[in-house]
A and B are shown apart, each in its own frame.
Chain A
Amino acid sequence: MSGLGKDAREPWFAVRRELSPKRATVLTVISFALPLLIWSAVSYLPFLWHPDVQLQLSAHRKDVATVYVAGDRVSKGFFPEFQSAVRKQNEELKEQLASEDPLDGASESSVRRANKKVLRHLAPLLIKNRWLKDDQNTDDEAIYHAWGEIASGENTLKRPALSEENIAIVQENWKAMSAIAPNYDSDLFISVPLFSLVPQGKASNPDYLPAPDRVLMTGVKIFNIPAEGGRPSMIQRVGHSLQIVFGGFLLAALVGVPIGVVCGTYPFFSRLIEPFTDFFRYMPAPTFSTLLVAIFLANDAPKIALVFIGTFFQLVLVVSNTTRRLDMPLLEAAQTLGASQRQLLAKVVVPGILPSLYDDLRILLGWAWTWLVIAELVGVKSGLTEFIETQGRFRNFDLVFPVIILIGLIGFFTDQILSLVKGLVFPYTDDGPKASSHPIVKTVLFIPRLIKRLISKSQPDAA
């Protein structure tokens, strides 16, 4: 194709030279693929970063208050210390067992309790290997049985595997346990101290950077949790958040656009309204949050009011500026055509600024989005923000990420759709021809356009 060859000769870098549509699309795809690729690389290539070790198997250290459980992350530097501390503890236990007082003065019941902990330390690994179900981490009977299987070599843990050292410890412990009871029996459980399993783990990133697959999976999961009790489902949360954003924004637009247009049209109103508006917009909207709760009480009203305050003053100024930018000669031409003052406003100013106004509102909608999080923290926490707040506090960042990304996606796609719609609503602007040839628009408008063509064909006199 000649078009292709021509494109190949065009430079990729040229000051203000438009790229071909194909190249533009390629770059758009890359613009999203690149960050995703970097995120994946950092997540899946252990040598890139991975400053932590995520425990697959933890151990209890005597006389140390900090308790780590499987799934916790410890720093790479600390992990070997943790392991050697447990090994040393086992060495000491060996000596203690050989001594006169194998219990070292502890009561049998306390030893038994400690032993149960050792037993259960293997559970996370068993669950990962699918030997046990997710909720069986305290099912001592099943865990006990698994210990036996591992010790006898009847069955081996594979993913993740148990280290040689730990297999030896399992065998040693099992010898002692099975001598007393071949099957688990709470009352007959061993009361001689057991050796601790040595912690195992794998290199990982900090919890604040979960891997893409994990984010995707938890994302799908949290969206499938139905509403129950006082906790809304994720869809309901999205709906609620949208209500706040669009409620505040639409209210601001409804009141602000007429004021802005009037300010941009009549210097009288501009002087009367704009100076104060200009002052007010410098007061950060969140500073009004407590006041808004006092005025509007709980629920959504203060939240919507916050988005309103955050958007309204900006909107008035932007709209009045846009109105002032309308070509003066258009107004003069209309006057020489006999338009009265009122007609000028209704028939020239308003239709004349509509395309720019549309763009302004698109940008201000983005502005409204940024107030969402703060608005939802006002009064009773709600919506997506409540979820992010709660889960973030528990450091469940793999649950937080999908929600943050979702907010971004909603905003992004809203904006894209609005930008497409602009060309359809204002066919006389630069976006007009672009929009009507857009693949999405073509698809959506295929049927209506077909019908139109058929109608015009069936009545040739109409043309």
Chain B
Amino acid sequence: MIPPAETIDYHAQSPEVSERFTKLKERPVVLSVDDLTKVFPSRNGDVTALKSVDFEVYRREFMCVIGPSGCGKSTLIRILAGLETETSGAVLLDGNPVAGPGPDRGMVFQSYTLFPWLTVKQNVMFGPKMAGHKEAGVEADARQWIELVGLSQFENSYPHQLSGGMKQRVAIARALANRPRILLMDEPFGALDAQTRAQMQSYLLQIWRNLDITILFITHDLDEAIYLADRILVLKANPGEVDEILEVPVPRPRNLDQFIEPEFIATKHHINQLIHPESERHQDNLPFPRMTPLGDDVE
């Protein structure tokens, strides 16, 4: 990454982008996280995974959370999903505090969590059936979701017959079939190869654009975050605190060519500085002695 970008400020937004953000912030708040703290008690001292995390997500916003490994990203999203309880603070969905997991918050995990004993269609029907909806309607609905993620041919296949990317597409369809208010995604494409991952990102943007859905997406991949997000929440490690919430100045609709646009690079450079400051880079150098003859240098 070559940063002539320092000359460009990532704060600078074109008029269209700035107008988009103005409109976005006029939308109602779907998810509101209020002074959230999470402490894991352990034998050798308590671990503060999250400290005073505060942010809001607007309706139909695509928000990414990024941060170094172990900064508490998963802990945050698990609290939002209701799989973990906060130590203090509050999580409000449409203004109501959340208690425990529920179908109003869909979740897609990094690991494959399709039910292996159910076919693709049955997996997608799982949530609505739990809610007690009628089988016939649920099935027709599930077919539509599967079609939406482009897997109609595979509706009667079992998960073990699908590739990793296909599994995650089914997982997305399964979460969406519940008509959640917000889709929580914890590094859902982390296990995929680069090509599949790019394809999945494009699918996800298409789905997001056409549905009334808000997305909170965790990643540790800067490109992925900038490519997908309206706003990026950068978390700091030890303890996990909000470092900055930045507005991505890259205009929509997004495409892969934007990866070399100045605002993209400037944003990336800035986040990189936040997560991995220049002052800490000397730590990357290994205490490695020369083991080759003098003059036989490669760089």
Contacts and interface: CB of A to CB of B under 8 A. Distances in A.
A354 B117 CA distance: 9
A336 interface: yes
Interface string A44-83: 0000000000000000000000000000000000000000
Interface string A342-365: 010001100110110000000000
Interface stretch (A194-202, A325-333, A441-449): A325-333
B250 interface: no
B113 A351 contact: no
Given A329-B109, A332-B83, A335-B101, A428 B117 contact: yes
9 contacts: A332-B113, A333-B113, A334-B130, A335-B82, A336-B82, A338-B130, A343-B130, A347-B130, A429-B116
Closest 4 CB pairs of A and B: A338-B103, A333-B113, A337-B127, A335-B101
Interface in B84-119: 100-103, 105-107, 109, 111, 113, 115-118
A242 to B, nearest CB: 31
Contact of A340 (B81, B111, B130, B174): B130
Given A348-B115, A428-B116, A337 B159 contact: no
Nearest to B180: A336
Contacts of B105: 336
Contact of A334 (B126, B131, B158, B171): B126
Given A329-B113, A428-B117, A428-B158, A335 B127 contact: no
Given A329-B109, A332-B101, A343-B130, A338 B178 contact: yes
A459 B135 CA distance: 25
Contacts, number: 73
A339 interface: yes
Interface of A: 327, 329-330, 332-340, 343, 347-348, 351-352, 354-355, 426-429
Where chain A touches its partner, the secondary structure class is helix
For B106, B127, B171, which residue has the most chain A Cβ atoms within 10 angstroms?
B127
Contacts of A339: 126, 130
Contact of A329 (B102, B111, B118, B159): B111
Interface residues of B, number: 29
Nearest to A355: B117
A327 B116 CA distance: 11
Where chain B touches its partner, the secondary structure class is loop
Contacts of A340: 130
B130 A336 contact: no
Contacts of B178: 337-338
B175 interface: yes
B252 interface: no
Given A332-B101, A333-B109, A335-B101, A352 B127 contact: no
B290 to A, nearest CB: 38
B276 interface: no
Nearest to B127: A337
Given A337-B103, A352-B115, 13 more contacts: A332-B107, A335-B82, A335-B100, A336-B101, A336-B105, A336-B106, A337-B178, A343-B130, A347-B130, A348-B115, A352-B117, A428-B159, A428-B160
Nearest to B118: A351
Nearest to A427: B158
B49 to A, nearest CB: 17
B176 to A, nearest CB: 11
Contacts of B131: 338
Contacts of A327: 113
B243 to A, nearest CB: 28
A332 B84 CA distance: 10
B130 A330 contact: no
Contacts of B159: 428
B117 A335 contact: no
